[in-house]
Amino acid sequence: MTNQIVLPDVEALAARVADGAKVAVFKDGAVPMDLGRALVRKGVRGLHVVTVPTSGLLADMLIGAGCVATIETSGVTMSEFGQAPCFGRAVKSSSLKIMDATCPAVYTGLQAAEKGVPFIPMRGLIGSDILANRPDFKTIDNPYDADGGDDPIVAIPAIRPDVSLIHAPLADAFGNVWIGRQAELKIMAHASAESLITCERLYEGNLLEDPHLAPAVIPSMYVGGIAVAERGGWPLGLTGEYDDDPDAILAYIQAAATPEGFQDWLAEHVFGSGAADARVPAQAAE
Amino acid sequence: MSGYRSEELLISVISRLLADCGHIAVGVSSPIPGSAALLTQATSDRPVRVSVIGAETPEFRTDGGVDLFDSAGQGRIDAFFLSGGQIDGEANINLVGIGDYPEMKVRWSGSFGSAHLYFMVPKVILFREEHTTRTMVDKVDFISAPGWSPDNVHRPGGPYGLVTNLCLFMFDRPNRRFRLESLHPGVTLEEVQDNTGFNFEIPEVVPETQAPDQAKLELLRSTVAQKIADPYPKFAERVWGVKAAA
């Protein structure tokens, strides 16, 4: 009963992501790039990607590879490396539906979903073009207003992803996942129907038995499948384990500056053996 | 030639705006505001907390991304920094792009937390080095976060000042417009007018921006440079030749 949750490889995990699924991905430090590459190889289509609350390389690669129909995001950015090339092209060519958000609205929507309530109100947003372009965000009157009701506040509807994709340091054979510092991953996992996990290593024993590890564990009830993917975040870092590979990220941005260059990058790093080769030299965290 | 770098002038201008703040939070990609927060911390006679999003050093850390917004919502953050690809005369900011939404001519990253923090943090300092009619516009193409709100909208926070590589503006909240506060050394009023796409209030006398004194420069080049090298190693090395501690 304990073993079927650990799948043989990332391809087996990717097989669980259906065309058209609503997929949550995390901003940084826990991004399953290996699983993303497997999704591109599988040729998944029509994804609705929810970035929690932003994304970079993973969203950009999935968009460039034609996997994404809709993106719900507070920002797609390569941070200090610059703008996200495939995202920018897709927005301009209208080949991508974009639902602009603001970071706390994404968290609020996920928190509504994890509580099983239809919405949670949040401050801000009123008067912004974000609100003007999100008919699903509704301005309501604060029913508790002391002056009897002229206090508009925005209701953020629950965001319920079909699946969240997470790369973590550790998971165990019982299906528990240790996420380290990135506490927001729990909100994302709780809100999603299931989470698909890649991890650096399997933990001997049950993570929930260790009082130091247990507070940062996503329990198995939220987990749909686990696969080991060593250095599975490359070229992005994994918090507490290893850093970004800036040369490889820059190489992506340069290649993806044109659609042809992006296809070459895919051929080498997703369909070829380039990804595995590139990360063989140990770039261990200091 | 003056005895300080342009970054040091901007840091010292921003730092003066933070004088009464007990908790200053700094977002991603903000080395100059981050240095200003640390300079305030180093010169204040009261304890000042500086939180830097994404920093590894324990003293800069909050309880995570959700906590940043939650604590701003509670009023636990006194000052924050925002920028914009476009900023207009009513202090609306645009982080989304140029042209008609959604298929914009130029698409930027997105609005991040601006549409919440601009409302909730009492002193939001706008910082954009590039001061041209491209960045300082009459009307932004997309309002990521508005500069002001009707009276019935709960808004304890909002724009306080706008610092560019030419000058310092202060935002006049009741009149919803910027007032020119000071011109950086060597900058003329005409230069600011020529490079600004919005109307702003011009007082009869516009002083020169106060340059950092020797004591501040020494603090910047020692304490601040060392501390900012954790979240922003490239900046610390480029400006002060300081390398992050291993």
- Encode pLDDT of B104-162 as tens digits: 999 999 999 999 999 999 999 999 999 999 999 999 999 999 999 999 999 999 999 99
Question: Could you say which DSSP state residue B222 is in?
Answer: I
Q: Do A126 and B149 touch (CB under 8 A)?
A: yes
Rounded CA separation A241/A65 (Å): 28
Q: Which residues pair with A154 in a beta bridge?
A: A122, A139
β-pairing, A22-26 with A138-141?
unpaired
d(CA A139, CA A153) in angstroms, rounded, equals 5
Q: Cβ of A104 and B96 within 8 Å?
A: no
How would you classify the pairing of strands B93-94 and A194-203?
A: unpaired
User: Residues 154..173 of B with a Cβ closer than 8 Å to A: which?
Assistant: 154
Cβ contact B110–A100 (<8 Å): yes
d(CA B228, CA B242): 9
Chain A interface, best mutation among B63, B74, B116, B237, by max A CB count within 10 A: B116
Q: Classify A26 as helix, strand or coil.
A: strand
Percentage of residues in chain A with pLDDT exceeding 70?
A: 94
Is A80 in Cβ contact with B234 (below 8 Å)?
Answer: yes
What per-residue confidence (pLDDT) applies to A255?
97
| B152 in reach of chain A (CB within 8 A) | yes
Q: What is the mean pLDDT of residues A149-170?
A: 96
How many angstroms separate the CA of residue A286 from the nearest CA in chain B?
Answer: 8
Predicted confidence at residue A283, as pLDDT, reads: 44
**Average pLDDT score over residue span B164-168:** 98
**A65 alpha-carbon distance from chain centroid:** 16
pLDDT over threshold 90, residue A2:
no
Asked if the C-beta of A96 comes within 8 angstroms of chain B's C-beta atoms, the answer is no
Angle of the B65-74 helix axis to the A103-115 helix axis, nearest 10: 100
* Chain B residues closer than 8 Å to A150 by CB: 152
Q: Which of B28, B110, B150 sits opposite A79 (nearest CB)?
A: B28
Enter the tokens of residue B216.
């501040």
Average pLDDT over chain B, rounded to an integer: 95
Is the model's pLDDT at B2 over the cut of 80? no
Instruction: Tell me which fold the domain A10-101+160-276 belongs to.
Output: Glutaconate Coenzyme A-transferase (3.40.1080)
Question: Out of A84, A98, A187, whose CB is closest to B66?
Answer: A187
Q: Answer whether B39 touches A (CB < 8 Å).
A: no
Give the closest of B64, B105, B113 to A184, CB-based.
B64
Q: Shortest CA distance to A165 belongs to which of A120, A108, A116, A232?
A: A232
* Section A46-68 average pLDDT: 98
Q: Is the bond preceding A219 in cis, omega lying within 30 degrees of 0?
A: no
Q: Read off the pLDDT band of A151 (50, 70, 90).
A: very high
* pLDDT higher than threshold 90 for residue A286: no
Interface test with A, best of B69, B83, B105, B149 (most A CBs within 10 A): B69
- The Cα–Cα gap between B155 and B167 comes to 27
**A219-244: per-residue pLDDT in tens?**
999 999 999 999 999 999 999 999 99
pLDDT of residue B61: 85
**pLDDT (0 to 100) of residue A284:** 40
Domains in chain B with CATH codes? 6-240 (3.40.1080.10)
B66/A183 touch (CB, cutoff 8 Å), yes or no: yes
- The stretch B1-6 carries a mean pLDDT of 81
Q: Is A267 on the interface with B (CB under 8 A)?
A: no
Contacts from A276-284 at CB under 8 Å and sequence distance 24+? A278/A234, A278/A235, A278/A245, A278/A248, A279/A231, A279/A234, A279/A235, A279/A245, A283/A242, A283/A243, A283/A245, A284/A242
The answer to whether residue A69 neighbours chain B at the CB level (below 8 Å) is no
- All CATH 3.40.1080.10 domain ranges of chain A, comma separated, are 10-101+160-276
* Mean pLDDT, rounded, for A124-142: 98
- Asked if the model's pLDDT at residue B246 lies above 60, the reply is no
Return the percentage of chain A with pLDDT > 90, whole number. 87
Residues whose CB falls within 8 Å of the CB of residue A215, separated by 6 or more in sequence, listed in order: none
Cβ pair A199, A228 in contact under 8 A: yes
Q: Do A107 and B66 touch (CB under 8 A)?
A: yes
pLDDT in tens, B42-94: 999 999 999 998 787 888 888 788 999 999 999 999 999 999 999 999 999 99
Convert the pLDDT of each residue in A91-104 to its tens digit. 999 899 999 999 99
State the helix-helix crossing angle for A184-191 and B65-74, rounded to 10 degrees: 100
Nearest residue, CB atoms, B109 vs list A83, A101, A187: A83
Higher pLDDT, A148 or A96: A96
Q: Is the pLDDT of residue A148 over 80?
A: no
**Under an 8 A CB cutoff, do A129 and B110 touch?**
no
What pLDDT, in 10s, does the model give residues B170-196?
Answer: 999 999 999 999 999 999 999 999 999
Query: Nearest residue of B to residue A180 by CA position?
Result: B64
ipTM for this prediction: 0.95
Gap between the Cα atoms of B11 and B15, Å rounded: 6
Residues of chain A contacting B114 with CB distance shorter than 8 Å? 102
A239 touches chain B (CB under 8 A): no
Judged by a CB distance cut-off of 8 A, whether residue B149 touches chain A is: yes
> For A201-215, what is the mean pLDDT?
97
Distance from CA of B143 to the nearest CA of A (A): 5
Give the minimum alpha-carbon distance from B214 to chain A in angstroms, rounded to a whole number: 32
Point out the residue among B116, B144, B150 whose CB comes nearest to the CB of A122.
Answer: B116
Q: Classify residue A82 by burial, with Cβ atoms within 10 Å: 0-12, 13-18, 19+.
A: middle
The token duo for B207 is 């002083």
Cβ contacts (< 8 Å) between A101 and chain B: which residues?
A: 110-111
